């Protein structure tokens, strides 16, 4: 008799949807720590700048920083942020969309990093080194730390292009990647204002 | 007497300007102001970020639990 009764599926326990995806939460926490890391560096630099003898900063013995040329590369980095934003918009409606915008972002950010290397070589040859002055030490530490982040972000972006072209990119992962990219892009104008201007 | 004792205790508790590291901080140093901005910045930045992140999650949770999403979740699944 029991064989005549169809086994009813047991109700699955209902889990409420998470407020935010795990990937996004992890990235937000990571970016939080990164912001504090750069804030510490900027604070140290600001104290050094504020205590400059007779208010002269940077020291007259150090070469001038190429503020105008770096402004151009700053615009390129900001445009890469816009491109990643547009890629996210495209991806929201099409699982494999936004590929062209990601390529554009990759090219713009690569241009920014290449300029950073050229600038560092020029400044090193002009005599500004890590040990030439406290200004030089802070400059290479802060700008170098950001450049490392930019290179890592470019590598992540290149992997994103690979995943997107194979339609393997999940919305949550792409959102987390975009948060990191916005952090790298959004941080730079602040660093530029503190260090170059 | 009790009032005077309490007043003396209260005065004793009033913080005086002290330096955490007296060997590297000179109270007569005119460059002391350079520490003020970064101190405020470093103190408020994590609180501000926590506020923004917490506020965003709160807003996101409330938006997800709004009347539109309730209708959506109560609709019969195909």
pLDDT digits (tens, 9 = 90+) for B38-69: 889 999 999 999 999 999 889 988 887 776 55
Q: Which two tokens stand for residue B16?
A: 């005086």
> Residue B42: which of A43, A49, A51 has the nearest Cβ?
A43
Q: How many CA atoms lie within 13 A of A20 on its CB side?
A: 17
Instruction: With H, G, I as helix, E, B as strand and everything else as coil, classify residue B76.
Output: coil
- Kindly give, in sequence order, each residue whose CB lies less than 8 Å from that of residue A31, ignoring residues fewer than 6 positions away: A179, A180, A183
Q: Do A39 and B53 touch (CB under 8 A)?
A: no
* C-beta separation of A133 from A90 below 8 A: no
Q: Do B60 and A46 touch (CB under 8 A)?
A: no
Residues of chain B contacting residue A17, judged by C-beta atoms under 8 Å apart: 64
Name the nearest CA neighbour of A28 among A188, A179, A149, A173.
A179
- In this model, does residue A67 exceed pLDDT 90? yes
Neighbours of A176 (CB within 10 A): 22
pLDDT at residue number A4: 58
**B positions 49-78 inside 8 Å of A (CB):** 49, 53, 57, 60-61, 64
pLDDT band at B76, cuts 50/70/90?
very low
Residues of chain B contacting residue A42, judged by C-beta atoms under 8 Å apart: 38, 41
Q: State chain B's mean pLDDT as an integer.
A: 76
pLDDT band at B33, cuts 50/70/90?
confident
Of A65-74, A129-138, A170-179, B59-68, the range with the lowest mean pLDDT is B59-68
Residues of chain A contacting residue B33, judged by C-beta atoms under 8 Å apart: 50
Q: Which helix (H) or strand (E) holds A179?
A: helix A171-195
This prediction has a pTM of 0.80
pLDDT at residue number A43: 93
| Nearest chain B residue to A27, by CA | B53
CB contacts < 8 A (A, B):
41
> Residue B49: which of A35, A46, A50 has the nearest Cβ?
A35
pLDDT at residue number A12: 72
> Residue A20: which of B46, B49, B57 has the nearest Cβ?
B57
Q: Do B38 and A46 touch (CB under 8 A)?
A: yes
* C-beta separation of A136 from A128 below 8 A: yes
* C-beta separation of A27 from B15 below 8 A: no
**What CA–CA distance (Å, rounded) separates B67 from B56?**
19
* C-beta separation of A25 from A175 below 8 A: no
| Nearest chain A residue to B31, by CA | A51
- In this model, does residue A6 exceed pLDDT 80? no
Helix count and strand count (H, E) for chain B = 3, 0
State the nearest Cα–Cα gap between B11 and chain A, in angstroms. Answer: 33
For helices A99-126 and A134-165, the axis angle rounded to 10 degrees is 160
**What CA–CA distance (Å, rounded) separates A147 from A172?**
26
- In this model, does residue A147 exceed pLDDT 60? yes
pLDDT (average), residues A50-73: 88
* C-beta separation of A185 from A81 below 8 A: yes
> Residue A47: which of B35, B49, B57 has the nearest Cβ?
B35
Q: State chain A's mean pLDDT as an integer.
A: 91
* C-beta separation of A79 from A108 below 8 A: yes
**What CA–CA distance (Å, rounded) separates A192 from A70?**
8
């Amino acid at each position: 008799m029991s064989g005549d009764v169809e086994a009813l599926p047991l109700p699955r326990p209902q889990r409420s949807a998470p407020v935010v995806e795990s990937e996004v939460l992890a990235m937000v926490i990571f970016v939080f720590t990164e912001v504090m890391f750069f804030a510490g560096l900027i604070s140290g630099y600001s104290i050094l700048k504020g205590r400059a003898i007779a208010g002269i900063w940077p020291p007259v013995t150090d070469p001038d920083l190429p503020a105008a040329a770096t402004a151009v590369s700053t615009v390129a980095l900001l445009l890469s942020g816009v491109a990643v934003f547009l890629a996210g918009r495209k991806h929201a409606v099409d699982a494999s969309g936004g590929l062209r915008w990601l390529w554009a972002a990759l090219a713009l950010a690569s241009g920014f990093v290449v300029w950073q290397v050229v600038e560092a070589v020029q400044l090193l040859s002009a005599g500004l080194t890590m040990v030439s002055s406290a200004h030089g030490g802070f400059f290479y530490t802060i700008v170098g730390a950001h450049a490392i982040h930019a290179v890592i972000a470019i590598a992540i972006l290149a992997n994103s292009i690979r995943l997107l072209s194979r339609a393997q990119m999940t919305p949550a992962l792409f959102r987390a990647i975009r948060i990191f990219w916005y952090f790298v892009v959004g941080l730079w104008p602040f660093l530029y204002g503190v260090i170059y201007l | 007497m009790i009032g005077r004792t309490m007043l003396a205790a209260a005065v004793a508790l009033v913080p005086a300007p002290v330096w955490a590291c007296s060997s590297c901080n000179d109270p007569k140093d005119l460059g002391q102001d350079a520490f003020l901005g970064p101190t405020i910045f470093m103190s408020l930045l994590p609180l501000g970020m926590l506020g923004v992140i917490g506020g965003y999650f709160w807003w996101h949770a409330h938006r997800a639990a709004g009347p539109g999403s309730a209708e959506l979740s109560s609709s019969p699944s195909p």
